[in-house]
């Protein structure tokens, strides 16, 4: 009898007694662990990044960026330390009393940074400083009671009294404020290093502390993501537009960042027009722009600006643009256009979600049009739309006493009476896939590895991933059919333990579970499962059944558990339908709770 509630355990160990480096880490734990690093870890990491950029992108850097590199490297080490500490903070304006670092003589380093233009010690933009102070401090400078909200009118703050003092000077007597310069330059260097702006210097820290390990691969210096200054500026503009959109749509954003609120059609269209043009050779930029345009168009839909939304969707090739466009056309009385879009998607779908929508929505539209359109003879006109076969997975009901356990673990505990049952949602099939195709995922393909902190190649979720590795994938599938899967998986399970992989959740990938699954599930079935994932990695990496059940009598079964009121999701049904086609044992287990004697009474 075996049951694993792996999701409930805070620390994972493998079968070789090693702690899983991907055990979740809290911010407090991470901050405490920093003390084990050398005092200048942040400086070393920053220097590594800017040196990488200087070595690989020298010809694309602007004059001011080259001057920054020259000036920065000329700074004394202590001034470099303080600048790095300050520039990596979220805001450019900082109170001096909040700048405290034990390893740095702050006043001395700050003076050097001020003389060399790395910080501005003479602030005149009061509007940027006011948010740094408390209401009590602002009220004291204005000479009003703290119960009244202080004014942010710059004219009030610069008006002098009879003694020549302004509220601004009184405020700066409470504490001085500095402005950190070159933040945009550092942001540009970060973009050039990571290829994005969602990764930051915390990646270095997590690696150095051992919480994250990355595969070893060669950085493709000959095929880096940026080959022109136009590209760099386009990506920077894209991220600025993303920030504007997120800030304006966030109800918790500061009021000053919501001056151009995106609650109006004009503002949304203005943001859309502010986006850079696509660059044909930059597929990453094209995908990013399409995604942001889809978000803008979706917001326009919510504002009932349907035609404006439709115009933006029509220019996007990234899902769900065609789906949303079809819905708009149907909603605005153009059912024929919507149906044509559905047929177009079926002929050339971008992903599985889009294809599922086209069949489902197109069938409804076809029936609606048929009912509304009649021939002269009064007969219903046929629109001949391809119908996808519906599938109803096998279901059964399990009545269990209520407990504090999750519904999945409650079922796993019950099934463990007659076999081994593991709660491994999205981790068994995907995990074995990641282990089986490890070397192919990290194969040296042009233009997919740009820096040392990638958990996957840049094209992993795109069709190019299959296209550029077609021969490698075909060879691996043949090896699996020839019975080599167990050796390949076990080799990677041991040698790659804890290394980042987009398909492998090390917290759930335990050797004894993998061994059991490999022994019970036939090689041809694994091959079919892998081919299904390869058809659409992004969508098939989720929706996999909750439980893997291995009865004592032999065999296996995938089980999707549903609590009262839960419904099967589209991606879950997609997997169930595939299981049926491949004769893979599966079912839905609907749980009903047994009423206690108190409730029954």
Q: Which two tokens stand for residue 126?
A: 């009061």
What single-letter DSSP state applies at residue 2? E
- Per-residue confidence (pLDDT) for residue 150, from 0 to 100: 66
Confidence bin at 16 (pLDDT 50/70/90): very low
Answer yes or no: is pLDDT of 17 > 90: no
Q: 27: pLDDT confidence band, cut at 50, 70 and 90?
A: low
Q: What is the mean pLDDT of residues 245-269?
A: 66
Q: What is the pLDDT of residue 18?
A: 31
How far, CA to CA in Å, does 282 sit from each of 27, 150, 449? Answer: 36, 49, 15
Q: pLDDT grade, residue 367 (50/70/90)?
A: confident
pLDDT tens profile 327-363: 999 999 999 999 999 999 999 999 999 999 999 999 9
- C-alpha distances in Å from residue 356, one per residue of 23, 346, 391: 36, 9, 13
Are the CB atoms for 271 and 295 separated by under 8 Å? no
The fraction of the chain above a pLDDT of 70, given in percent, is: 87
Q: Which of 35-44, 331-340, 510-519 has the lowest mean pLDDT?
A: 35-44
Q: Residues 104-110: what's their mean pLDDT?
A: 96
Alpha helix (H) ranges present in 251-396?
265-274, 283-302, 306-313, 321-331, 335-347, 352-372
Mean pLDDT of 139-161: 74
Interhelix angle for 283-302 vs 321-331, to 10°? 30
Report yes or no: 12 and 6 within 8 Å, Cβ to Cβ. yes
pLDDT range class, residue 142, cuts 50, 70, 90 = confident
What is the structure's pLDDT at 71? 97
Q: What is residue 556's predicted lDDT score, i.e. its pLDDT?
A: 98
- Residue 258: per-residue pLDDT: 42
Q: Helix (H, G, I), strand (E, B), or coil: what is residue 253?
A: coil
Per-residue pLDDT tens digits for 535-562:
999 999 999 999 999 999 999 999 999 9
Most confident of 126-130, 163-167, 218-222: 126-130
* Per-residue model confidence (pLDDT) at position 413: 95
Q: Mind listing the pLDDT tens digit for each residue in 54-72?
A: 999 999 999 999 999 999 9
* Domains defined for the chain, CATH in brackets: 27-194 (no CATH), 228-372 (1.25.40.10), 395-600 (no CATH)
pLDDT at 14 over 90: no
Q: SS3 helix, strand, coil % of the chain, rounded to 5?
A: 55, 10, 40
pLDDT at position 5 is 42
Give the predicted TM-score (pTM) of the model: 0.84
Picking from 529, 504, 500, the residue whose alpha carbon sits closest to that of residue 514 is: 504
Task: Give the pLDDT of residue 596.
Answer: 65
Q: Tell me the average pLDDT across 108-117.
A: 97
What the block records as the tokens of 406 is 């999750």
pLDDT value, residue 420 = 97
d(CA 424, CA 156) in angstroms, rounded, equals 62
The H or E element that residue 154 is part of is helix 154-158
The lowest-confidence range among 170-179, 554-563, 575-584 is 170-179
User: Does residue 255 have a pLDDT over 70?
Assistant: no
Across the chain, what does the average pLDDT equal?
Answer: 88
- Give pLDDT, residue 538: 94
Q: Mean pLDDT across the stretch 435-454?
A: 93
Contact indicator for 191, 235 with CB cutoff of 8 Å: yes
In the β-sheet with 419-423, what is the strand arrangement from edge to edge?
2-4, 419-423, 547-551, 557-562, 586-594, 395-401
**Stretch 157-178: mean pLDDT, rounded?**
82
* Average pLDDT rounded to a whole number, residues 5-34: 45
Q: What tens digit of pLDDT does each residue of 285-327 get?
A: 999 999 999 999 999 999 999 999 999 999 998 999 999 999 9
């Amino acid at each position: 009898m075996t049951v694993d509630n792996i999701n409930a355990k805070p620390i994972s160990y493998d079968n070789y007694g090693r702690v899983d480096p991907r055990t979740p880490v809290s911010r407090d734990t991470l901050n405490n662990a920093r003390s084990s690093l050398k005092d200048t870890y942040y400086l070393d990491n920053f220097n590594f990044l800017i040196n990488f950029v200087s070595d690989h992108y020298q010809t694309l850097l602007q004059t001011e960026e080259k001057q920054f590199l020259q000036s920065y490297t000329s700074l004394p080490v202590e001034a470099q330390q303080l600048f790095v500490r300050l520039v990596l903070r979220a805001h450019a304006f900082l109170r001096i009393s909040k700048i405290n670092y034990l390893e740095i003589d702050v006043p001395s380093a700050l003076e050097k940074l001020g003389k060399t233009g790395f910080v501005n010690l003479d602030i005149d933009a009061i509007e940027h400083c006011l948010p740094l102070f408390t209401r009590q401090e602002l009220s004291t400078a204005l000479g009003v009671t703290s119960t009244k909200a202080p004014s942010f009118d710059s004219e009030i703050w610069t008006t002098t009294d009879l003694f020549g003092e302004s509220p601004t000077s009184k405020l700066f007597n409470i504490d001085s404020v500095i402005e950190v310069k070159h933040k945009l330059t550092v942001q540009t260097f970060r973009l050039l290093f990571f290829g994005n702006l969602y990764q930051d210097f915390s990646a270095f820290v997590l690696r150095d502390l051992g919480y994250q390990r990355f595969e070893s691969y060669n950085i493709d210096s000959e095929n880096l993501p940026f080959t022109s200054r136009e590209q760099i500026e386009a990506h920077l503009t894209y991220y600025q537009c993303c920030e504007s959109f997120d800030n304006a749509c966030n109800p918790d954003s500061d009021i000053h960042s919501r001056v151009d609120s995106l609650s109006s059609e004009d503002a949304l269209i203005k943001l859309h027009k502010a986006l850079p043009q696509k660059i044909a050779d930059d597929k990453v930029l094209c995908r990013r722009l399409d995604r942001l345009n889809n978000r803008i168009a979706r917001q326009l839909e919510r504002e009932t600006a349907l035609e404006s939304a439709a115009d933006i969707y029509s220019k996007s090739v990234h899902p769900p643009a065609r789906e949303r466009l079809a819905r708009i056309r149907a909603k605005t009385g153009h059912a024929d256009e919507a149906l044509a879009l559905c047929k177009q998607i079926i002929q050339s779908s971008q992903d599985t979600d889009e294809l599922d929508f086209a069949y489902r929505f197109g069938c409804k539209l076809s029936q609606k049009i048929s009912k509304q359109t009649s021939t002269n003879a009064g007969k219903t006109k046929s629109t001949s739309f391809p119908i996808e076969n519906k599938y109803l997975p096998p279901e059964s009901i399990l009545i269990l006493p209520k407990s504090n356990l999750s519904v999945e673990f409650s079922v796993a505990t019950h099934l463990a009476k007659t076999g081994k049952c593991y709660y491994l949602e999205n981790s068994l099939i995907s995990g074995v896939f990641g282990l089986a195709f490890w070397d192919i995922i990290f194969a040296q393909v042009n233009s997919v590895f740009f820096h040392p902190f990638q958990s996957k190649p840049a094209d992993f979720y795109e069709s190019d991933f299959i296209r550029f590795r077609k021969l490698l994938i075909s060879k691996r599938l043949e090896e699996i059919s020839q019975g080599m899967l167990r050796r390949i998986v076990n080799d990677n399970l041991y040698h790659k333990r804890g290394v980042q992989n987009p398909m492998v959740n090390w917290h759930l990938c335990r050797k004894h579970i993998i061994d059991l699954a490999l022994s019970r599930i036939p090689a041809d079935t694994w091959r079919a499962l892998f081919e299904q994932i390869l058809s659409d990695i992004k969508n098939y990496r989720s929706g996999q059944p909750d439980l893997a059940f291995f009865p004592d009598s032999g065999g296996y079964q995938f089980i999707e558990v549903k609590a009262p009121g839960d419904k099967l999701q589209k991606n879950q049904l997609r997997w169930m339908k595939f299981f049926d086609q491949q004769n893979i044992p599966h079912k839905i287990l609907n749980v009903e709770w047994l009423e206690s004697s108190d409730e029954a009474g």
